[in-house]
């Protein structure tokens, strides 16, 4: 991990989410929001709690916490995401900021959640430590991430198609932590234990990713993501055609009527701040 320039990586991610915020909300938000209720359950979110939603994006998790009777604050590195979330969910509070430098006092929250954000942070260990700091003793944290490609039909298809097309990663993307690093249970557990959390566990949840075609999936990734989007956009016309062909073959087992329902498993890690 020593060759990672965390600042450069975080700046790349922040700039990217500014650009794709609305498309993420339209194309990927309905998919990732399927993990929100299990995430809130894992963090023990209930009425009367002060909840922090890290990497809040379009604000769906914070809004779901409010629906449970909690007071929710969402924080996101991209101003465009904060603006979008505030428009969509006026019942929660949204601020711009970094997961590794949370602008909150010690012991400000009764629970914390982060939906598919930890893989986008250059210094995830520091982010986990910040979560420990802002939680009261006895509070729970819950973070989600994508499953590794070998156990994920969705990402197995995507990664395999990129490899089949022999796309070279773009040189202007700073090297960062592995996209699928926390898909490994022991690594995800170690992240929270290392930050001082106890009673740590990891559970698997699976949702379907509805698609009309392989082109549909390429559009979602290209227009609504940052790191993987840059990789797909790096291909030339010939490589994109090969990616499309490979994707069509790889998602064929999940053909349903006039489209596809491709399983997209996730991992949720949770832990308790000792009292």
Percent of the chain whose predicted confidence (pLDDT) is above 70: 99
pLDDT band, residue 275 (cuts 50/70/90): confident
Q: Is residue 193 over pLDDT 80?
A: yes
Examine residue 78 and state whether it is found in any structural domain, yes or no: yes
Percent of the chain whose predicted confidence (pLDDT) is above 90: 92
Examine residue 258 and state whether it is found in any structural domain, yes or no: no
Least reliable range by pLDDT among 61-70, 170-179, 194-203: 170-179
Examine residue 75 and state whether it is found in any structural domain, yes or no: yes
Examine residue 191 and state whether it is found in any structural domain, yes or no: yes
Show the 3-state SS of the chain. Answer: CCCCCHHHHHHHHHHHHHHHHHHHHHHHHHHHHHHHHHHHHHCCCCCCCEEEEECCCCCHHHHHHHHCCCEEEEEECCHHHHHHHHHHCCCCEEEECECCECCCCCCCEEEEEECCCHHHCCCHHHHHHHHHHHEEEEEEEEEEEECCHHHCHHHHHHHHHHHHCCCCCCCCCCCCCCCCHHHCHHHHHHHHHHCCCEEEEEEEEEEEEEECCHHHHHHHHHHHCCHHHHHHHCCCHHHHHHHHHHHHHHCHHHEECCEEEEEEEEEEEEEECCC
CB contact at 8 A, 189 and 118: no
Examine residue 142 and state whether it is found in any structural domain, yes or no: yes
pLDDT band, residue 68 (cuts 50/70/90): very high
The 10s digit of each residue's pLDDT in 6-44 is 999 999 999 999 999 999 999 999 999 999 999 999 999
pLDDT band, residue 94 (cuts 50/70/90): very high
Least reliable range by pLDDT among 2-11, 138-147, 248-257: 2-11
200: containing domain = 6-148+174-209+265-272
Examine residue 155 and state whether it is found in any structural domain, yes or no: no
Q: How much is the pLDDT for 4? A: 86
pLDDT band, residue 51 (cuts 50/70/90): very high
Q: Is residue 153 over pLDDT 70?
A: yes
CB contact at 8 A, 239 and 166: yes
pLDDT band, residue 2 (cuts 50/70/90): low
> Dihedrals φ, ψ of 198, to 5°?
-115, 175
Q: How much is the pLDDT for 1? A: 43
Q: Provide the number of structural domains found in the chain.
A: 1
Examine residue 141 and state whether it is found in any structural domain, yes or no: yes
The CATH number linked to 129 is 3.40.50.150
| Overall average pLDDT of the 163-188 stretch | 92
| Other beta carbons less than 10 A from residue 198's beta carbon | 11
Pull the structure tokens for residue 138. 């006895």
Q: How far is CA 229 from CA 11, 19, 219, 222, in A?
A: 16, 12, 9, 4
Q: Is residue 241 over pLDDT 90?
A: yes
Examine residue 233 and state whether it is found in any structural domain, yes or no: no
């Amino acid at each position: 991990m020593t060759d990672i320039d965390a600042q450069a990586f975080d700046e790349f991610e922040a700039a990217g989410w500014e650009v794709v915020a609305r498309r993420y909300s339209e194309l990927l938000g309905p998919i990732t929001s399927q993990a929100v209720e299990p995430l809130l359950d894992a963090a023990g979110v209930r009425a009367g709690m002060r909840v922090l939603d890290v990497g809040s994006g379009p604000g769906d998790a914070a809004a779901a916490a409010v629906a449970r009777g909690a007071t929710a604050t969402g924080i996101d590195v991209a101003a465009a995401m904060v603006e979008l979330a505030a428009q969509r969910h006026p019942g929660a509070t949204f601020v711009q900021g970094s997961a590794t430098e949370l602008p909150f006092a010690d012991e400000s929250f009764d629970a914390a959640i982060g939906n598919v954000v930890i893989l986008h942070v250059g210094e995830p260990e520091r982010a986990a430590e910040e979560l420990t700091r802002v939680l009261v003793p006895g509070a729970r944290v819950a973070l989600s991430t994508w499953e590794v490609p070998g156990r994920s039909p969705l990402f197995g298809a995507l990664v395999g198609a990129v490899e089949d097309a022999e796309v070279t990663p773009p040189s202007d993307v700073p090297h960062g932590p592995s996209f699928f690093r926390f898909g490994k249970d022991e690594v995800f557990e170690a992240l929270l234990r290392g930050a001082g959390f106890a009673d740590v566990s990891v559970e698997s949840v699976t949702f379907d990713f509805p698609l009309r075609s392989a082109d549909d999936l390429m559009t979602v990734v290209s227009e609504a993501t940052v790191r993987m989007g840059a990789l797909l956009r790096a291909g030339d016309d010939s490589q994109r055609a090969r990616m499309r062909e490979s994707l069509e073959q790889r998602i064929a087992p999940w053909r349903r009527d006039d489209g596809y329902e491709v399983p997209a498993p996730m991992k949720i890690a949770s832990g308790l701040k000792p009292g």
